[in-house]
Structure 1
Amino acid sequence: MIEPVLTHRAESGDDVPLLVWRLPESALAVSSAVLGGGIGPCGWVVNATVPMSYDRDDPATHLREIAAALDLTGPGVGLLTGVDAADVVAAGDGDVRLWATVGLSSPTQAAAPTTATAPHPGTVNIVAWVPHRLADGALVNAVATLTEAKAQAIRDLGLAATGTATDAVVVLCPPSGPAAPYAGPRSPWGRRLARAAYRAVLDGGAANLAGPSSWSERRSTA
């Protein structure tokens, strides 16, 4: 798994940051993303910053446009975040690699009252690489493990929340080889994912809460 490249795109007269992973070989991915969600092959991942005022109702189309402008072809996964993509936090545990952009401007409880509203959704995006083939069930299990670790980190930051309303996860692994059947927090691969996600969300969340870290806020004060 290669490191992401921080680049920019021209949009509405601004240079807007984004992260791009161009995979040297196609991977198997599970994702909750609006573009490329589900389980299937993946050749690239994009995590694109957008303004906190973002109001497009076609994010998948927007991400396809971003991918096309980057000459990304074939199946891939697209994510959006209000956080400055330059603030990505990398973490590793053993051979597991993980990257997170952590925006906690609107933390929420998953089982919030139906009257609860979030005027400006924050986003925690996690991209993780496991260097061993995971069975389909284990891929889904890995998403749950990462989500549990994220919630643990947010709790330890002192927030009465489990995440935000728009969080997304991507887990990548080789497409072939003997498949590991489990990725829960006490399995060999799951515990590495959990430890890496916990550290990344804890560090990224602490930085996010310490001061303005959305691209919109920084742009307005520059």
Structure 2
Amino acid sequence: MLAGPALTRRHEDGQDVPLLLWRFPEPLLAISSAVHGGGLGTRHWLINATVPMSYARPDPDTHLAALATGLGLTGPGIGLLTGVDVTEVVTTADDGVHVSATVGLGAPIPAASPDPGFGHHPGTVNIVVWVPQRLSDGALVNAVATATEAKAQALAERGLTATGTATDAVVVLCPIGGPVAAYGGPRSRWGAPLARAVHQAVLAGSF
């Protein structure tokens, strides 16, 4: 089982700002939409860092790399940013799947808005999922879709006509070795508890 994140802080712009840190005991396979370390591959750590709602740096990837260096992290990892106070992280579990979510819904949007515009706000729903069995590459992609569907279901149940925010991110982690599960959809062995755990976390998260 992947342990939950450690809460630490960094001094930045005259303030102590919270940050969630996972130091993986061994490298994990990850799929992620993160701005730093996104894509599919082996990862050694993960951070989810609070930033001000006024955050407008044009180089978040570089910013996250600097945060990782300051924490003494080495090897490829994943970096997430959010306008949410990450001390309010919600953790859930269902049948071996573990989820940590920071839920910021200050700027919710429907994905298929007829006039989406280009404004980005760092409210952000960041979802980190641990699945205890190796997933195939296709199952990892499907697991991201399942997590996103469960998030959208929770937002609908919260009365929002939105599917998320413009800056949401999903991370799915699993072991590198062992028997491979072929499916990650919402009625699969691991997709079903994943969907329930994400749904519960987003429902419980703060606005």
| TM-score normalised by the chain length of structure 2 | 0.97
1:152 is aligned with what amino acid?
A: Q
Deviations along 1:175-205, one digit per CA (max 9) or x if unpaired, are: 011110100000010001000000000000x
Whole-Å separation in 1 of the counterparts to 2:175 and 2:68? 22
Q: Name whichever of 110-119 and 185-194 sits farther off.
A: 110-119
* 1:110 match: 111
Whole-Å separation in 2 of the counterparts to 1:181 and 1:159? 33
2:81–2:122 Cα contact (<8 Å) kept:
no
Shift of residue 75 of structure 1?
0.8
* 1:211 match: none
Q: Tell me, what secondary structure is at the counterpart of 1:188?
A: coil
Shift of residue 2 of structure 1?
1.1
Query: Structure 2 stretches of 5 or more lacking a match?
Result: none
Describe how 1:47-196 pairs up with structure 2 within 5 A. 47-116=48-117, 118=119, 120-196=121-197
1:25 is aligned with what amino acid?
A: E
1:106–1:118 Cα contact (<8 Å) kept:
no
Whole-Å separation in 2 of the counterparts to 1:46 and 1:121? 16
* 2:33 match: 32
Deviations along 1:197-220, one digit per CA (max 9) or x if unpaired, are: 00000000xx32xxxxxxxxxxxx
1:153 is aligned with what amino acid?
A: A
Please report the RMSD computed on the Cα atoms of aligned residues, expressed in angstroms. 1.0
Flag the structure with higher helix content: 1
Shift of residue 120 of structure 1?
3.3
Q: Tell me, what secondary structure is at the counterpart of 1:137?
A: helix
Shift of residue 173 of structure 1?
0.2
1:93–1:196 Cα contact (<8 Å) kept:
yes
Deviations along 1:49-103, one digit per CA (max 9) or x if unpaired, are: 0000000000000000000000010011000000001000000001111100000
* 1:46 match: 47
Q: How many pairs align?
A: 206
Whole-Å separation in 1 of the counterparts to 2:123 and 2:52? 11
Q: Taking every aligned residue pair, what percent have the same amino acid on both sides?
A: 64
| TM-score normalised by the chain length of structure 1 | 0.91
1:143–1:169 Cα contact (<8 Å) kept:
yes
Whole-Å separation in 1 of the counterparts to 2:154 and 2:199? 5
Flag the structure with higher strand content: 2
Q: Tell me, what secondary structure is at the counterpart of 1:40?
A: strand
* 1:7 match: 8
Q: Tell me, what secondary structure is at the counterpart of 2:197?
A: helix
Whole-Å separation in 2 of the counterparts to 1:11 and 1:25? 30
